């Protein structure tokens, strides 16, 4: 399933239920924020190492999978409503990040990450 197909599928889903009236960009941004909060809750008391080992906890993984799916769904819906080409947006962002953090400077230095504690 590519992003374009997913967009159309979610559009039909909302139209069939007459939910478009609720799906203003403002509301979709809020819904996405709500799901991002739920995702945080799964990780808030875990150490980083525990978060890496979450893969062994099937119950928790099932829930985390649902949260990430919800977030992905709202992102695609929001892009549909705002006529954003998500694929292009992602490609542009990766290109911008590559320019901002060139390998030779970012590697073993990574100022983005080491601002703290210098």
4 lines the binding site for a second copy (CB under 8 A): no
Q: Does 43 bind a second copy (CB under 8 A)?
A: yes
CB of 81 to a second copy, least distance (A): 7
83 binds a second copy (CB under 8 A): yes
The reply to whether 63 sits near a second copy by the rule CB under 8 A is no
CB of 15 to a second copy, least distance (A): 10
From candidates 8, 50, 63, 100, binder to a second copy by CB under 8 A:
50
Give 78's Cβ-side CA count (13 Å radius): 17
* Residue of 3, 30, 29 lying closest to 81 (CA atoms): 29
Kindly state whether residue 58 participates in binding a second copy, applying the rule CB under 8 A: no
Give the nearest distance from C-beta 92 to a second copy in angstroms.
7
Q: Based on the number of CB atoms within 10 Å of its own CB, is 64 exposed (0-12), middle (13-18) or buried (19 or more)?
A: middle
Q: Which of 8, 54, 63, 100 binds a second copy (CB under 8 A)?
A: 54
Q: What is the DSSP string of 52-81?
A: HGGGG-HHHHHHHHHHHHHHHHHHHHHHHH
Task: Report residue 66 as tokens.
Answer: 């649902």
Nearest alpha carbon to residue 77 among 8, 30, 18, 21: 8
Determine, following the binding rule CB under 8 A, whether residue 8 of this chain makes contact with a second copy: no
């Amino acid at each position: 399933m590519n992003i374009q197909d997913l967009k159309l599928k979610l559009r039909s889903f909302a139209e069939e239920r007459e939910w478009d009236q609720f799906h203003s960009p403002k509301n979709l941004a809020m819904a996405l924020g709500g799901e991002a909060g739920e995702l945080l809750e799964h990780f808030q008391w875990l150490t980083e190492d525990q978060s890496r080992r979450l893969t062994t906890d099937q119950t928790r993984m099932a829930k985390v999978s649902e949260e990430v799916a919800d977030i992905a769904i709202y992102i695609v819906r929001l892009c549909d409503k705002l006529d954003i080409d998500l694929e292009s947006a992602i490609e542009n962002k990766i290109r911008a990040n590559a320019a901002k953090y060139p390998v030779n400077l970012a590697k073993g230095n990574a100022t983005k990450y080491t601002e703290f504690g210098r």
